[in-house]
Structure 1
Amino acid sequence: MSIVDRALWVMERNSEHALGLNNIADACGVSRSHLANAFGTATGWPVMRYLRARRLTEAAGRLAGGASDILTIALEHGYGSHEAFTRAFREQFNLSPEQVRDRGSVDGLATTPPLQLRNGNVLSPSPQLKTLGALKLVGLAAPCSFGESIHIPAQWQRFMSTYSDTIPNKVKMPPIGMCEVPDDDGGFRYVCAVAVKAFEDRLPELEYFETEHRTYAVFAHNDHVSTIFDTYLAVWNEALPRLARKVADSPVLEFHNSSFDPDTGFGGLEIYIPLQDHSGA
């Protein structure tokens, strides 16, 4: 069973409980970063947004079927009050719970059926474990989500053509991509960056980061860069669960190979997934 299938089971089985990203990740035996990335990559849904949509869909069905006590429905679907439930319900369906109860139907509502995933047939890449020292990175950051990665190539174009040559103290190595840890709604920042020896003459348009010394599971992506989604799908949902090491809540790094050609997208890169040390950090 993949991480996504585990998470779906936990969410469907515990619809009446107050679940958060941490709770679901713990139940799946992975870190919140691992779960957020695995679920978002496989489904295009942020975990908590999917959970809210499913709970409200089930609640709408109950109300349309004649359930009269809205507070009871709210509590049974993880909401602590009538007010919180009504607010979320209206945001989802543009109707109040009372209106859906009165109309007796969910026809035309933006309901969310349960996902049915079977990820067991994905060919999993084999990782190498590598220890990477702390890095100083300077880069161009932009908000991203699992459904909006199409904007990343243009972000790289802007960074390389406008900023890369102006950054002092660059280390002689290919550019580095960085995916920050997703938030509860599946949003994260993607950073186009270069490594530097020291921070100085800071440019206001760019951001400055320091990564930690840690161990990474490193996966090679040797195909065209546009297919990196497929590699991430296999990494998060198949390869990492078999590794028996928890993923740290730290950024994922992408190191372009020296042979990478930005004009064609060929040449490959390596994906560095941060791992927790034995203390859990």
Structure 2
Amino acid sequence: MTLKNPTLLLLMLLVCGGLKAQDAKLTVSSKTNPDKSVSLTADKSSLGSYTLVLNFRELSNAQSASNPIFNIKHSSDNFLTLTPINKDQGITYSYSYSYVRGQLQPKYSPLFLYALPYGPGKKTRAVESSFLNATYFGATTPDDWKVYKFSTEAADTVTAVRKGIVVEVVDLYSDDTKDFKFTSKVNSIIIEHADGTLATYKGFKKGVFVKEGQTVYPGTALGINSMTNDRYGISLMISYLKSADIVAAKRNTKDAKSLYGFVNPFFCTNANANGQLSNQQYYTAVLPAEVVQKEMTKKELKNLTKK
């Protein structure tokens, strides 16, 4: 193997500009094997699925991958092995890579039925949120943009809308943001669902109830909603990764396209057992057994009946 100036050539292009290398959620390493093949391995410091885009700056004595996009679900994932064309010679290579959270273009049902993010009998007002990048930075709102702010009269417990695994928790900020129209300093939870969609909840009081790696179900308590602009509530976004054009998405232009697509969910409410929400309307949460148990395994259902 010949690797030219690895410090310069093994560049890591991060989705969030300015993120320091020690904060990287995914790193790629390479190893030359006894048969002169090269194994590339991804290590994750964060839970959940990531999409990795590999770019070979130089590659000789081996064929490059026909599709240099890889789904990384587990840490220490050997996602690619390069085999030498001439088995008597080593492989010369250098590469850069970028990554983003989510499984690329997952197969999901836009008709999936979600619970409201509060317990049965709780009343909430659903307000469609604007695209903040358009409001404050002049960007173009995605055609399918859909995020709801679910507010309550007083501070209340926020619950999961669907079964999934908690893959990220931000629980750093103590104060409500009642005097701000916009702030990035909010506590949040990201839950990855079995079909690859992601539920992002933002707006918790410090001291959320769940931990990364925990499996939650419809109705599982996540935390207490915080106050923003004199209203208690959380925002909820159901999204999926639709593009891996990470470099283009990082460009600071008004025409930059979102990597994510957005789902307009169907919710189970007291007024409609299966329907989409209307802006600025009040809804009362219900939680039928079929919604709670919809994605449970046989073992989970068996344990449920024992309680």
Which of the pair has the greater relative contact order for Cα pairs under 8 Å at 6+ separation? 1
Query: TM-score interval w.r.t. the shorter chain?
Result: under 0.3
Query: TM-score w.r.t. structure 2 length?
Result: 0.25
Query: TM-score w.r.t. structure 1 length?
Result: 0.27
> Which structure shows the higher strand fraction?
2
> Which structure shows the higher helix fraction?
1
